[in-house]
Chains A and B, each alone.
Chain A
Amino acid sequence: MSLVTQRNSIIPGFGLTLGYTLVYLGAIVLLPLAALVLKASDLGLSGLWSIAAEPRIFAALRTSFTLALAAAAVNVVFGGIVAWVLTRYEFPGRRLLDAAVDLPFALPTAVAGISLAAIYAPNGWIGALIAPLGWQVAYTPLGIVVALVFIGLPFIVRTVQPVIVELQQDVEEASASLGATRLQTLYRVVLPALTPALLTGFALAFARGVGEYGSVIFIAGNLPFVSEIAPLLIVVKLEEFNYAGATAIAVWMLAISFFILLAINLIQAWSRRRFGNV
């Protein structure tokens, strides 16, 4: 194939650059991936199954997936509002807030983790405010949701913003001129147009949330069966040199993520057909 390509182009360096790309990709990404697949195939399906059925591992997987879904759902609502306001409104500080949306990506996760834990700890800025009400966020599953909302926010906002920019405002004008109230227009015209992007953002935030580690472990409390996430359990298994257990949890995380993302993709394809391609 390279010979054909070389003949068509006077640009040099195809063999060298593609060769280097493939070797580097193979060494850094594919070789480690192969090690994981090989280790998992050693265990076999029955081995993978019996490890996932261990109560503590099952509980950790359930915690990770349900809380990542919950946090992504919170982000769809608030991230959607944030994207709408930052795109459609002008107010003092808007540009600053818009730039700050990327903070969860620029801020190292460990830093986010300890600062969220400090804020929501019973003696923290917010923790002390809500403690008299009998509420506790840090060291409970709710704390994990807070951390995952922080981590997932830019996924929703940055996915939805360009779609809002591209919205044809004449459609909204048409809706209004046909007698719809503004709320009806938002709900029946704008929201359907944003649905595919919101779903994409949801999927990205969810996938990131399932694998998130650094920002979660400080605020989670890490109580087995209650607030222990699957990535933490991988670390625990590795510290016990239980490579098989760690591999099985990783494989289950990847497999369940894959099926949930597949389901979201199907819903998305349906919503694109239903509401038109945006």
Chain B
Amino acid sequence: MSDAAAGLTTPIEEPWLATKAANVRRARSPVTGEGPILAGVLIGVTILFLALFLILPLAVVFYEAFRNGASAYWAALTEPDARAAIGLTLLVAAIAVPANIVFGLAAAWAIAKFRFPGKSFLITLIDLPFSVSPVVAGLMYVLLFGAQGMFGPWLKAHHFSIIFATPGIVLATIFVTFPFVARELIALMEDQGTTDEEVALSLGAGGITTFLRVTLPNIKWALLYGVLLCNARAMGEFGAVSVVSGHIRGLTNTMPLQVEILYNEYNISAAFAVASLLALLALVTLVVKSVLESRFNDALPGKARGH
């Protein structure tokens, strides 16, 4: 109730979906710039603030990871529990991301290519997972499938576990990454309209052929963009997964959970070694995202979705 309403009034957007690189007019007349002193203060504050809050946390991850030398770093990553955590994270992403790709394609096709009543309400519902705290998302799945949850007794009777097992981790991950691909594709395909598909169909192409040969090439960069962000979140999700995982070493620990366990055991450099892999993933994500934005900005949805 209240959460659905909250979604209606202020959909929580992931801001990195909201802004694409824009062409900025920096050439100014002398009167629309600050004087040298104020400009210096503003630039200084910006650099100091970003260094303190962005660069330093990133630097400390790699510093702590390699503090005890490269061999300790390597040992921490190849240790069996760490390997199991890496494997589980890859497995979860390999299920959750394609699931959300299929959903994103279906939702974008239905919403962007057809008119029907209730469309904007449907878009609001698709955005809803962004406005739910990850811990609350995990809680909802526990209430459904946990031991004392709605379907708990039934699952127990059939010897099937979702909570404290891989299916629950996959479900929680799908929930928190739910809107990423759909949002990108809906925004872009609504801009593109239906003309290309109508031409292909009237020239005799079938529905599948039209999708594969006409629609897919039109949306491939936006799809990649959505998949990139979806994957980063899927591999890095902590709160929702933490609630449903049960933290069983070697079995239900994803990489972020393994980081937590090692850190709480004061095994600091091993925690940072695993964390450094996730930080590397974040860096690669940012670089690919920047490349996509600068080279294929026209093929990504514009600022149409702004607030």
A residues in contact (CB < 8 Å) with B = 1-2, 5, 8-14, 16-18, 20-21, 24-25, 28-33, 35-39, 78, 81-82, 84-91, 93, 97, 99-112, 114-116, 118-119, 124-126, 149-150, 153-155, 157-159, 161-162, 165, 169, 172-173, 176-177, 182-183, 186, 197, 200-201, 203-204, 207-208, 210-214, 218, 231, 234-235, 238, 241, 243, 246-247, 250-251, 253-255, 257-258, 261-262, 264-265
Asked if A119 and B60 sit within 8 Å, CB to CB, the answer is: yes
Contact present for A1 and B235 (CB under 8 Å): no
A82 & B50 in contact (Cβ 8 Å cutoff): yes
Q: Are B114 and A9 in contact (CB under 8 A)?
A: yes
4 closest residue pairs by CB, A with B: A211-B133, A108-B236, A32-B140, A158-B15
Inter-chain contacts of B238 with A (CB < 8 A): 108-110, 213-214
How distant is the Cα of A144 from the Cα of B146 in the complex, in angstroms?
A: 30
| A243 & B236 in contact (Cβ 8 Å cutoff) | no
Question: Once the chains bind, are A258 and B282 in contact (CB under 8 Å)?
Answer: no
Q: A108-B236, A258-B5 are in contact. List 18 more A-B contacts (CB 8 A).
A: A10-B201, A20-B103, A25-B122, A33-B140, A78-B45, A82-B46, A100-B286, A103-B286, A115-B57, A116-B57, A165-B22, A165-B24, A211-B239, A234-B135, A234-B243, A235-B135, A251-B2, A261-B6
Q: A87-B24, A110-B275, A111-B279 are in contact. Are A255 and B2 (CB under 8 A)?
A: yes
Tell me which of B71-79, B147-155, B219-227 binds A: B147-155
Residue of A nearest to B135 (CB): A231
Q: How far is the CA of A20 from the CA of B102 in the complex (A)?
A: 9
Q: A10-B202, A111-B256, A211-B134 are in contact. Are A118 and B64 (CB under 8 A)?
A: yes
Residue in A5, A32, A39, A210 with the greatest tally of chain B CB atoms within 10 Å:
A32
From the candidates A88, A109, A177, name the one contacting B239 in the complex (CB within 8 A).
Answer: A109
Inter-chain contact A85/B140, CB cutoff 8 Å: no
User: Would you mind naming 16 contact pairs between A and B with Cβ atoms under 8 Å apart?
Assistant: A10-B202, A13-B211, A17-B109, A32-B141, A36-B139, A84-B42, A101-B54, A106-B285, A107-B279, A110-B257, A114-B272, A154-B15, A169-B25, A207-B12, A243-B148, A250-B136
Interface residues of B (CB under 8 A from A): 1-6, 9-10, 12-16, 18-19, 22-26, 28-29, 31-35, 38-39, 42-43, 45-47, 49-50, 52-58, 60-61, 64, 102-103, 105-107, 109-111, 113-117, 122, 125-126, 128-129, 131-137, 139-144, 146-150, 171, 174-175, 178, 194, 197-198, 201-202, 207, 211, 229, 232, 235-239, 242-243, 255-257, 259-260, 263, 268, 271-272, 275, 278-279, 281-283, 285-287, 289-290, 303, 306-307
Decide: A254 and B2 in contact? CB cutoff 8 A: yes
For the A-B complex, the count of residue pairs with Cβ-Cβ distances under 8 Å equals: 348
In the bound assembly, the distance between CA atoms of A243 and B141 in angstroms comes to 11
Of B26, B106, B149, B278, chain A has the most CB atoms within 10 Å of the CB of B106
Task: Please determine whether B110 and A21 come into contact, CB atoms closer than 8 angstroms.
Answer: yes
Q: Is the CB of A115 within 8 A of B122?
A: no
Q: Do residues A18 and B285 form an inter-chain contact, with CB atoms below 8 A?
A: no
Known: A86-B46, A177-B31, A257-B6. Is A235-B242 also a contact (CB below 8 A)?
A: yes
**Which of these, B22, B26, B29, B197, contacts A162 with CB under 8 Å?**
B22
